Structure 1
Amino acid sequence: MTWSHRDGRWPTDGLSYGADYNPEQWSPDVWRDDVRLMREAGVNLVSLGIFSWGLVEIADGEFDWDWMDEIVDLLGENGIAIDLATPTAAPPGWLLFEHPEFRPVDHDMQPHWPGARLGWCPSNLVFRSYATRIARAVAERYGERDHVVMWHVGNEFGGGNARCYCDVSAAAFRRWLRDKYGSLEALNDAWGSAFWGHSYRDFEHILPPRGDDSKNPSLVLDFDRFSSDELLQHYLAERAVLKEITPELPVTTNFMVGAEADVVDYARWAPHMDVVANDHYTRSPDPLPQQDVAFSGDRMRPMTTERRPWLLLEHSTSGVNWQLRNRAKDPGELIRNSLSHIAHGADGVLFFQWRASRGGAEQFHSAMVPHAGEDTRVFREVCALGGHLRALAPVQGSRAPQARVGILFDDEAGWALAKGVKPNNAIAYGRIVRDWHRAFWRRNLSIDVLPPWNDFSGYEVLVLPALFLVDDDTARRVTEFADAGGTVIVGMASGIVDANNQVRLGGYPGAFRALLGAWSEEILPLQQGDRFRLDNGWTGTEWTEHVRIDDAEVLAQYSGGPLDGLPAVTSRTVGDGGRALYVSAALDADSIDALVETLAATGWSSPVAEGVETLERESAHERFTFFINHGTADVSVPATGEELLTGQAVDGSLELLAGEVRVVRSPLALRP
């Protein structure tokens, strides 16, 4: 089999399947066993060389390619394509010793010590020159190999160096500010820097937000934006080298998109990716890890162009090693997680890593080949998953149809909410967004978790959960969406500050006061352990507001406490049958679920069976319906077509065992 991306295809024939492969940890006799097991498992793509810099460039300008040549050849001989990394995530020891000045520095001006990953300052041009040099060396040596099908720049940008506060970064920050504002007058106005008399008279006086005392929130937010941009500039520098040498090969890097605000602003990075890729790991204490998988996929889709497929570059076969207590996945969970990512729009699933390490910082991280070897449950499930992905080859290239619900999610809004002093500094942005996602997800409603600058057309509902920072353009387009007949739900803590992180005056939420016909004059945070109750039985904690009505209907009001009888949830009819709801209180997940239930009269769907998630992908002529049974009971679901994993014909009803996934192919014109 020959592998080539020179015709512009997806990096692999059919769905991609594999892992990070780190053969440098093993002897060549193990490599032969690796490729045998890869072929048995159905692996067709590995990410190679991610942490190999110090093993190929053994001293400054001195290269040893022999072992890399051997493994690249061995993979090609066995029909396994390579997503080849620029190994810049982990600088070699000799480079860190010769240039300690590019180590990142924390907010207390303490340099990071060598020994971890991403031990470099994104603004340091000395490091960038070495990084682009090794990227060029790798591209020139391997870029013409037909089975090298994609470039993987670095690894998990921002995972260890999201913010650097050193003097080099400070100088770069000042240049960034000059480019953004043009003048000190504009900067002082945008930051409201007259407070505490901190108006700037010279750009050279501006420093990053060092230390842990209270800083101007506008400065902090701009430093977060700058930090994301600096990492992006480094990515683009490596990308430019790769595109110069192999313009036809796609270039990507692995995001870390989840429910919390990200370490960098991946949604703004996405246009620079030829293939948008993600790493996703569930958390051990999470009571609904299957919803976290769905949430991640629902965020990834809107980052792509025209809802094109994306790639999962890392997840785990079982337990990870970096949480307090690392839960092993239940039998079948590996397969359910993987096929859920496919159902949510991925055209490939890869793991970290291929073979579990004997030593090093991640020696107890699960892998496709466990420490116990191939005669294990995990490896048997790995092989079963490979067979499933081969059977699902027709799905490759299909796309999810237009979602009905859009949930606005913005890293900048999350940063602004999380940092600086707020009425309640315990608000968790990601938890709030997931509570709203859960209410729609459990009803099998198609959801996009989208950046606020995306097009809103085609959605029926827009939800703004804790969208603390809202620029004028977003506020205008949300209003236009409601005026055109859509339903908008504005959640607590939304629309409070503008793009400069300054409070919008005239009552909260200032960005949407006119749309909602309601506003609050004061925020009343609850103390730890306190709860509120509304007159319809809904409850919550953390956040309440003193709401006043201009032109809205009261759906629920406070019962008891200092806000007794005052509005908590309001609704206003606007435009051409549109509706704008204001949920000013921090409802708990069950109450959000009850609120969404009140909107179900519009004809929204319900689960086909309790615990069963149903998703669709479509090609030009076919529909692929995924049924994922997260429950513990066998169920029967309505379906008609061909079930791809078993090859059986389905005529009206499909038996779905507990924990099982089934995928039914049908003509596009035929509803399942």
Structure 2
Amino acid sequence: MLAKNWPLPGKIAYGGDYNPEQWPREVWDEDVALMREAGVNFVSVGIFSWGLLETAEGVYDFAWLDELLDLLHAHGIAVDLATPSVSPPAWFFAAYPQARAVDKNGVPMGFGSRGMASHASAEYREAIVRMADQLARRYGQHPAVVLWHVHNEYGVPVAEDFSDAAVASWQSWLRARYGTLEALNAAWGTAFWGQHYAQWEHVVAPAATPTTVNPAMKLDWGRFTDDQLRECFRLEREAIRAHAEQPVTTNFMAHQSWNTDLWKWAREVDIVSDDHYLWSPDPEAHVALALSADLTRSVAGGRPWMLMEHSTSAVNWQGHNIAKRPGEMQRNALTHLGRGADAILFFQWRASRSGAEKFHSAMLPHAGPTSRVFREVTELGGRLAQLGELQGSRVSADVAVLYDWESLWAQDLEWRPSDELQFRERMRTYYERLWRDGVPVDFAHPGDDLSGYRLVVAPASYLLTQAHAENLTHYVSCGGTLLVSCFAAAVDEHDAVHPGGFGAPLQDALGVTVEEYLPIRTGEQVAVSFDAAELETSVWAEDLVLSGAEVCGTYRGGPADGAPAITRHQHGEGAGWYVSTALGLEALAPVFRAVYDEAGLAADGPVPGTYPDGFEVMTRHGEDAAYTIAVNHREEPVALKARGTDLFTQRPVDGELTIAAGGTAVVRLDNTHDR
């Protein structure tokens, strides 16, 4: 099941960003020798090299890159060649100061960082196309180049731009979207606060204002910003495709950057790739890692994807940059692999001595090749070399979690009933409940075909269009089980409350609507009585109006004391569950058990909760075999139930394999029954 266009067929790609321009030429030879020792077979080159490739406007120096690509190819190391559009050189901004990005206060961004250019600037767009064209003409047939890498982390650090060029593009974008000012005024509700527009030229960008900006305007601004970034990507991609046939990608930041709608972006790339970094304040950061990996695989449509960047140890840009402990790097890498990644790559190969990221970890750290980190890098490279047969295999799931970036943008705008009810928090809590129960999940858009899933979970669907609500209702009527969290279907695509009130579009599926939102005061004691248990809750309650649903849980205390809190509604052949409060991770456990039973998830395969908390078990399915990937985050060994072959030791596994504390394993399963 080798993936079409996969740059290294039959292999797990291993390596990372390589920035040899930071080092004397003699260091390059040491680098490639150590890469071979570490098992590196793939590197990304040129991401921040514009100033060295185009030394003045129209003046190019490719000699050093020629030599580098030849050197890497001679040592069997494939190249992901980047376009350096994320960091235009000093001469560009000196020649075109109007191409700088401008913040919401009207201040132009200065040179000396990265991501400083206005993506709406005609001069910037002409320059990036010219550079992409030059690179593709020269290297489109180079045997080392197996993938093209456009830009770097679109939307980071700058996505929004309030320059004159951006405002002009914004006005054109709105004309194309709405056609008439009457339609724009209606969509934005400009009758409120006297914001009516009579001329297109008067439609400003949502920059700094005395108080909160029109939320419908800001929601469209998020869509516009995303479209501007994607237009720039397409310009470079097409310049490359004019001269080269290798696949083209750009590195996403699933669930870590919120400016890009990855459902749309995934349709533009040949291979989906993602960067992921642990968030140090999170003691369970490996759960967020799993969430991002599942989300990346899902936007890739289940196809093989690339972990383009992660760190061997600490990063440098957080308040407390916590070093990874022994074995943690391998656990992180194997979790990505288990959730569908066919490339395990790092930022970066050799640690930088200078610049903003000199304290960022690397495959070859400042301590050199005798360091623990490099020993672990080499061990991981050896292990991944044993796993080439996994390339192209896929993950399957019976549960889908709904994720919509437009709902994220809308829910996190100002002046909501409670600042404490956030998209990311609800998404993480619901996902983590599934993760701790050992339930494999895909993510899905609310407009997707959901018929292949037994259970669909909607943790944060504040914005839900009428069409998407009808899709969910159809899913339930055809026999699906739907679990919806609070504050759902509150507004439409314009951030306007639906006709009929809060939750109205899901009334048929859930058998309830919401009369009023009832945020809970800090410190107020509230619980939900559910299935003979008292579930503590906080932050949020709702005054539900029943229209056919049965009450499964009741508020105890707080503003909705005695009223329905959790409901179930039979609709057609399926059922819709609604949880009208912000239950925490442990309080959700009995609710999910009831929903699993409703969806038939406990009847087939491993029952949720088969393994102890912190023992992560994933399965990938190929044409001829299936593979279990086990990652033990616990401080004691755990027995994995499997029959097959341990691919790290090549020893048979006859029913059980002990995974050491902090350890990992990959087992090729014997037969379809074990899959």
User: What TM-score, normalized to structure 1?
Assistant: 0.96
Report the alpha carbon displacement of residue 608 of structure 1 after superposing the two structures with TM: 4.0
Q: Are 1:643 and 2:637 counterparts?
A: no
Report the alpha carbon displacement of residue 261 of structure 1 after superposing the two structures with TM: 6.4
Report the alpha carbon displacement of residue 195 of structure 1 after superposing the two structures with TM: 0.9
Report the alpha carbon displacement of residue 451 of structure 1 after superposing the two structures with TM: 2.1
- The residue that corresponds to 1:263 in the other structure is 259
Q: 1:185-584 to 2 correspondence within 5 Å?
A: 185-212=182-209, 213-246=211-244, 248-258=245-255, 262-305=258-301, 307-401=302-396, 403-535=397-529, 536-576=533-573, 578-584=574-580
Cα distance in structure 2, aligned partners of 1:476 and 1:423: 26
Which of 578, 585, 592 is 2:581 aligned to?
585
User: What TM-score, normalized to structure 2?
Assistant: 0.96
Count of residue correspondences? 663
Larger displacement relative to structure 2 (533-542 or 429-438) = 533-542
Q: What 5-or-longer segments of structure 2 have no aligned partner?
A: none
Q: Equivalent residue of 1:539, what SS?
A: strand
Which of 12, 16, 30 is 1:15 aligned to?
12
Report the alpha carbon displacement of residue 606 of structure 1 after superposing the two structures with TM: 2.9
Q: Equivalent residue of 1:245, what SS?
A: coil
- The residue that corresponds to 1:44 in the other structure is 41
Instruction: In structure 2, give the amino acid aligned to 1:289.
Output: A
Contact 1:191/1:219 (<8 A) preserved: yes
Instruction: In structure 2, give the amino acid aligned to 1:487.
Output: T
Report the alpha carbon displacement of residue 215 of structure 1 after superposing the two structures with TM: 1.3
Cα distance in structure 2, aligned partners of 1:230 and 1:198: 25
Cα distance in structure 2, aligned partners of 1:140 and 1:632: 53
Residues 180-234 of structure 1, C-alpha deviation per residue, up to 9 Å, x if partnerless?
1111111111111111121211111101101053111111100100000000000
Instruction: In structure 1, give the amino acid aligned to 2:664.
Output: V
Residues 595-644 of structure 1, C-alpha deviation per residue, up to 9 Å, x if partnerless?
11233433432344312211111111210111111111112221111111
Report the alpha carbon displacement of residue 667 of structure 1 after superposing the two structures with TM: 4.5
Contact 2:483/2:595 (<8 A) preserved: no
Q: 1:1-12 to 2 correspondence within 5 Å?
A: 8-11=5-8
Residues 264-298 of structure 1, C-alpha deviation per residue, up to 9 Å, x if partnerless?
11221101110000000110011211211110111
Which of 148, 161, 172 is 2:145 aligned to?
148
Larger displacement relative to structure 2 (139-148 or 349-358) = 139-148
Cα distance in structure 2, aligned partners of 1:344 and 1:586: 28
Contact 1:12/1:44 (<8 A) preserved: no
Report the alpha carbon displacement of residue 60 of structure 1 after superposing the two structures with TM: 1.2
Contact 1:261/1:429 (<8 A) preserved: no
Closer, same or farther: CA 39–607 of 1 in aligned 2, 3 Å: farther
Contact 1:656/1:662 (<8 A) preserved: yes
Cα distance in structure 2, aligned partners of 1:603 and 1:476: 25
Q: CA RMSD in A?
A: 1.6
Contact 1:618/1:668 (<8 A) preserved: no
Residues 155-187 of structure 1, C-alpha deviation per residue, up to 9 Å, x if partnerless?
001102211011111110111111111111111
Cα distance in structure 2, aligned partners of 1:261 and 1:593: 29
Q: 1:25-64 to 2 correspondence within 5 Å?
A: 25-64=22-61
Cα distance in structure 1, aligned partners of 2:179 and 2:120: 21
Contact 1:15/1:389 (<8 A) preserved: yes
Contact 1:122/1:161 (<8 A) preserved: no
Closer, same or farther: CA 658–129 of 1 in aligned 2, 3 Å: same
Cα distance in structure 2, aligned partners of 1:121 and 1:479: 42
Cα distance in structure 1, aligned partners of 2:410 and 2:503: 15
- The residue that corresponds to 1:624 in the other structure is 627
Residues 285-330 of structure 1, C-alpha deviation per residue, up to 9 Å, x if partnerless?
112112111101110122123x111111000000000110011111
Cα distance in structure 1, aligned partners of 2:260 and 2:3: 31
Cα distance in structure 1, aligned partners of 2:547 and 2:449: 29
Q: What 5-or-longer segments of structure 1 have no aligned partner?
A: none
Q: Are 1:138 and 2:130 counterparts?
A: no
Cα distance in structure 1, aligned partners of 2:85 and 2:610: 47
Larger displacement relative to structure 2 (440-449 or 316-325) = 440-449
Report the alpha carbon displacement of residue 454 of structure 1 after superposing the two structures with TM: 2.3
Instruction: In structure 2, give the amino acid aligned to 1:319.
Output: A
Cα distance in structure 1, aligned partners of 2:368 and 2:230: 39
